[in-house]
Structure 1
Amino acid sequence: QELQLATFFSLFYFSINAGSLISTFLTPILRNDVHCFDQDSCFPLAFAVPGVLMIISIVIFALGKPMYKIKEPRGNILVEVVKCIWYALTHRSGRSVDHWLDRSEDRYGSQLVNDIKSLLKVLVLYIPLPIFWALYDQQGSGWTFQAVRMNGSLGFYTILPDQMQVVNPLLILAFIPLFTYWIYPLLAKCHLLKTPLQRMCCGGFLAAAAFAISAGVSMALESTYPVLPQAGEAQVRIYDTSNSHDSFTFVNNNTQYQVDSGYFMGTFKIDNEELKFQFDSNVIVNFAVTQKTAYGIFFTSKGGQTYIDNVDKSDDGYPLVRVLAYDQSTSFVLQHSKQNVEIEAGNFNLTSLSYTGSYKLGDTQFDVDLGGTYTITIDKNNDVKVRTITKPNSVHILWLLPQYFVITAAEIMFSITGLEFSYSQAPSTMKSVLQALFLLTTAFGNLIIVLIESAKIFEKQSNDFFLYTGLMLVDMLVFMWLAIRYKYVTNDDQESSSESDELNTTQENGKLNGIDNPALKQ
């Protein structure tokens, strides 16, 4: 039944990712393109649709109840395993035994003791597995952050950052039959990757390769990030909507600068906690500052005003715009084919725009793109100028595809094979236990990510990805060493005979609606 077992887990994984594909593609569309409760987005609908689909799936599952043969399980095998191990650990005195678990044989029986021995042999192989899941689950965090910093425009459509998560389940649906019917048989003919542990090793090395690729992409992205002030520095932008100032003196070091067409940008060393600027009309602006921070000064009908200027890219990837108007009593409307954005009078904070493309303010038309930060100035003559403060994303989002291809191939070889291996190598009474423990390695992988990210070892994301690459390579070398020492077990004739007798008995009784699971027997 080796072929049938592999087919089952492939179909099982296929169905999971079919649902994931629908969810990851549909949810961002429902969230952004539907408006509800007087909001520009509709998160309630985005959550409600998966919830309704879950209810429908439960109903479908319940309707199939007449087709199942349900046998109530007796006892709790996990509790029995823990008790047996605990008894052996706490009763070390007495007769000499070949294996430390044999001390529990008199109390729990040889069958359970032998099954636990087989269980522990497989669990040793699980020790390195959490590192793989630590890397794999970066698709929803680290890789999505990369997508936020990338250009998703295809001309006719803009790919949203979180929509890139569609790629993984989509590729899984394509890769499962590809690996099952072509790649694995071809490799078998070449006497390569014939055993589950060999495939899992290969999957682990592919995961390391995927993160080496993602580290390279991050390096390309980091070269496009805005230049932020460093330690001991402050960045200042000056906007003169009054058209009154052509130059100013930085009083802290008595240096003069020019204001070009109502705009200036510069980085200043901080000698104390205050910056002081004197403009050519004897206007003095001074304000308290902190290092590694950007500030803005703009002149309106009310005089000079200051604010903290956030010049970094937005967290969600959408463009940001700030309107600085000489007349602080007037509201403005940014017109887009899909949405109008109102800027309230006197509001000079950054406003997130839900759509890219062409906007219009009065008679002035301008374009915004993902990742860009823009400042619109309206002077006392109502002349409108649009300045790009932070350049929009320039690296295209499709450059993420290579790492998605590699990590998906790694998942096929590691996860599906791992489920199949766990089931085939577990004794009949331990199959559910071993499956649960295999899935538990995912939780430990997530914990590893939390610890590494909390430590903030590196400032650059590329260095984090290189770290994960190194960890995965070392981890797979350990796994290879353990795999080489592992001896595969096969189902004994007694279990096969038991299943055969069960089937014969069922057919004789005319009950063809199911087969008892031997794992439920005590």
Structure 2
Amino acid sequence: HVPYPKSVFFIVSNEFCERFSYYGMRTILSLYLKNILLFSESDSKIIYHTFTMFVYFFPIFGAILSDSFLGKFRTILYVSIVYACGNVVLALSSAEPVGLPQIPFSMIGLLLIAVGTGGIKPCVSAFGGDQFVLPQQEIQLAAFFSMFYFAINAGSLISTFLTPVLREDVKCFGENSCYPLAFAVPGVLMVVSIVIFAAGKPLYKIRKPEGNVVVQVLKCIGHGIKQKIKSNDKVNHWLDRSENKYGKSLVNDVKTTLKVLVLFIPLPIFWALYDQQGSGWTFQATRMDGYIGFYTILPDQMQVVNPLLILIFIPLFTYAIYPAFAKCNFLKTPLQRMVCGGLLTAASFAISAGVSFALEATYPVLPTEGNCQIRIYNPLECNAVITAKPYFVDQEVKAMGYTKLDVNDIQGNITVDFSITGCDQQINYTTGSNFFIAEETPLLYYMLEDKFVRSVDDIDKDDNGMPKIRTLVNKPREDLNLTYWDGRREALTIETSNYDIFTIDPGTYKLDNFDKELHFYLGGVYTVLVSLDDNDEIQNVELYQVTEPNSVHILWLIPQYVVITAGEIMFSITGLEFSYSQAPTSMKSVLTAVFLLTTAIGNLIIVIIESAKIFEKQSADFLLYTGLMVLDMFLFAFMAMKYKYIKKEENNENEELNVKPERKESNAIDNPTFKHNDDRIPYPKPVFLIVVNEFCERFSYYGMRSAVYTVLISLDNNDNIKNVQIYEVIKPNTIHMLWLIPQYLVISIGEIMFSITGLDK
């Protein structure tokens, strides 16, 4: 009996913390680039996907460093320190009081994180596998990888929900958000992961570096190309010229690998769509309504749907969907599943394009070429009539009101004369020659007793989807403040002379002691007119909606998340299975590395498309990606039909004993290789009856355990109720049902580990 290696718990804990750090940082990255570093939405996507490209590009160098020089343990430890330094630099650069140049140091931090997470990516899972003795612990090894994958998604799930809360709900350094804290918490988890990993060193089995097969493959291919150019000898395959130097076995394995790699050519398009969950889909969510009655879902929190669905879909596809399709002789081979997964991914972007069409209908209409928008506000107690010939004549602006004017046929900037009547007793200007009109610009005019204030108006929705408000006061003073109150909480205090735009949490507010309720909704832009009396007390308040709030609910994003997650299960996980099953024993790491490299190329595709700025509307962008994915999958399906699967004969010996199985070729369409073995331990079907029984029993129990009351009623002589008393006989439920979640979480983890372990490999 070989004892279970306790060292793997350090490795799994390390992976949980590292994934928490990475996904927590990446969840808020796109909004940080746009809202704090002030990049445009397009440029933010370019930087975001350039970072992701490097994350999936550096694993090749991490594998070479590990296998050829440092070994897995030292590579993970040293590169993790670089990773943590990147987290620290990013957190410090996001804190303005620290004084670091934000853009350069943020880019340095992201580069260090990309080197770190990319460098350890190919090492951690392999290092965990090294802790087991094969073939004696094959089943425990399978259970470890299930636990390892669970740790990845658990870390992702928690951090994707938590870091947007830290970003939005915590205020620091005078800002309405706290990106430094949201970046610092993942950084702390990364430091914790290093401590946990280093603490397990006495328990680890540490193998010395044995050379990297990727380097050998590249040398073999390079030598073959070089000899092909120099030599005119006829050979069956150009790689045969490398046999003299690298041996027949390696050359044959490289030939087989190249046949599989040809199929990888269309794969990057999938990642070009999939990785936009953190960029394009997050920006889409900022323009939607996240209010669900008791909580407001933040835009970047929607990314939590993907890891949550993965945890649900993996057992669902493994034990329900795939077996059901197999009975119908459908989706039996990996390549068939990958084509279907790619088409589902295209469908998800078609759905997101439909959502974008609905969103674009709610966007504010901004002034275009030859057009100017003017809004004139009047917080005074008089009805004004304004004329600015030849563009408008006798436009009324009522007391405590406003009017919107669309001025056409404008070229450049124009200054014209104006006149105001109706407020002669309250203003000391009735005419002037400085009424400014600007092409393609929204303008705001604000009537005060002593001046006619002009400003560029901001009517576009907030980048974070929050309400935007502007407060205009009839008697502004720098030493007098107004406060918006959310119940007893002071939400926002501003000077009465400050007419800038501010963001505020959605909700219902009151201005100081004035009774009128002001309702602000996600995505809305509002102007609040305030009239003060001679004692500086509020005597009137009017609220005007300049831009309508978000009306498309954020939960309409769930269908596209469901579809793309199903596509990910069928494409990504099946692709890894295909790479592993079709690779020669010596080439498995090569194919896995190249499969990860397709992610980097996919993000490069996004960078190229976004840099070209083909379309202005997001819906058109999503339709472009949909079309590319459909065409890509047709190409992939055609290539898959030509592919000959490599069949491995059953072999009772472990691959580590150097017993190489015979390989045969069969057609991809009718391929017996991928039929499930009938000698596996079947899943115990009676447990479903037990689960159903437990559900019904718990339903009955919690339904029965309700409160019991007695009500005493006293009637007078006319049968009218004169008194009522209520007495509690049995107390109502006091323990909240959500306390059931921990036990469901634990039993779900147990189910995954138990059922997978119970299967005969």
Question: Given the two structures, how large is their TM-score scaled by the length of structure 1?
Answer: 0.89
C-alpha contact (below 8 Å) 1:200/1:418 kept by paired residues: yes
Looking at structure 1, the residues matched to 628 and 171 of structure 2 have their Cα atoms a distance apart, in angstroms, of 44
C-alpha contact (below 8 Å) 1:6/1:420 kept by paired residues: no
C-alpha contact (below 8 Å) 1:211/1:465 kept by paired residues: yes
C-alpha contact (below 8 Å) 1:9/1:416 kept by paired residues: no
Matched, 1:268 2:418: no
Looking at structure 2, the residues matched to 432 and 501 of structure 1 have their Cα atoms a distance apart, in angstroms, of 17
Matched, 1:397 2:547: no
Matched, 1:291 2:427: no
Q: CA deviation at 1:73?
A: 2.8
Q: CA deviation at 1:271?
A: 3.9
- Amino acid of the residue matched to residue 498 of structure 2? N
Aligned partner of residue 452 in structure 2, secondary structure:
strand
Equivalent residues in 2 for 1:284-433, closer than 5 Å: 284=432, 286=434, 288-329=436-477, 330-337=480-487, 338-353=489-504, 355-362=505-512, 363=514, 364-379=516-531, 381=533, 382-433=539-590
Equivalent residues in 2 for 1:152-167, closer than 5 Å: 152-167=290-305
Matched, 1:44 2:180: yes
What is aligned with 2:327?
189
Deviates more, 1:40-49 or 1:99-108: 40-49
Identify unmatched segments of 5+ residues in structure 2.
1-134, 422-429, 534-538, 660-761
Deviates more, 1:302-311 or 1:39-48: 39-48
Matched, 1:258 2:396: yes
Matched, 1:15 2:164: no
What is aligned with 1:509?
none
Q: CA, structure 1 residues 343+440, in 2 after alignment: closer, same or farther (shift >3 Å)? A: same
Deviates more, 1:26-35 or 1:395-404: 26-35
Looking at structure 2, the residues matched to 105 and 176 of structure 1 have their Cα atoms a distance apart, in angstroms, of 43
Looking at structure 1, the residues matched to 452 and 313 of structure 2 have their Cα atoms a distance apart, in angstroms, of 61
Deviates more, 1:452-461 or 1:172-181: 452-461
Q: CA RMSD in A?
A: 2.6
| Per-residue CA distance 1:348-388 (angstroms, 9 max, x = gap) | 110111x2111111303201011011111124655221111
Aligned partner of residue 296 in structure 2, secondary structure:
coil
Looking at structure 2, the residues matched to 111 and 79 of structure 1 have their Cα atoms a distance apart, in angstroms, of 16
The number of residue pairs the alignment matches comes to 501
Looking at structure 1, the residues matched to 291 and 654 of structure 2 have their Cα atoms a distance apart, in angstroms, of 61
C-alpha contact (below 8 Å) 1:241/1:380 kept by paired residues: no
Equivalent residues in 2 for 1:85-164, closer than 5 Å: 85-92=221-228, 93-164=231-302
- Amino acid of the residue matched to residue 292 of structure 1? E
- Amino acid of the residue matched to residue 312 of structure 1? D
- Amino acid of the residue matched to residue 519 of structure 2? D
Q: CA deviation at 1:214?
A: 0.8
2:189 to 24, 40, 53: 53
Q: CA deviation at 1:3?
A: 11
Of the two structures, which has the highest relative contact order with CA contacts closer than 8 Å and spacing of 6 or more? Answer: 1
Q: CA, structure 1 residues 18+148, in 2 after alignment: closer, same or farther (shift >3 Å)? A: same
| Per-residue CA distance 1:367-417 (angstroms, 9 max, x = gap) | 101101111112465522111111111111111111111011001111111
1:74 to 183, 187, 210: 210
| Per-residue CA distance 1:454-496 (angstroms, 9 max, x = gap) | 2221222111111111111000001111111111224477995
- Amino-acid identity (%): 57
Q: CA, structure 1 residues 55+451, in 2 after alignment: closer, same or farther (shift >3 Å)? A: same
Deviates more, 1:104-113 or 1:25-34: 25-34
Aligned partner of residue 594 in structure 2, secondary structure:
helix
Looking at structure 1, the residues matched to 146 and 332 of structure 2 have their Cα atoms a distance apart, in angstroms, of 17
C-alpha contact (below 8 Å) 2:382/2:398 kept by paired residues: no
Q: CA deviation at 1:42?
A: 3.4
What is aligned with 1:198?
336
Q: CA deviation at 1:75?
A: 2.3
1:247 to 385, 395, 404: 385
Looking at structure 2, the residues matched to 232 and 287 of structure 1 have their Cα atoms a distance apart, in angstroms, of 17
Q: CA, structure 1 residues 224+238, in 2 after alignment: closer, same or farther (shift >3 Å)? A: same
Question: Given the two structures, how large is their TM-score scaled by the length of structure 2?
Answer: 0.62
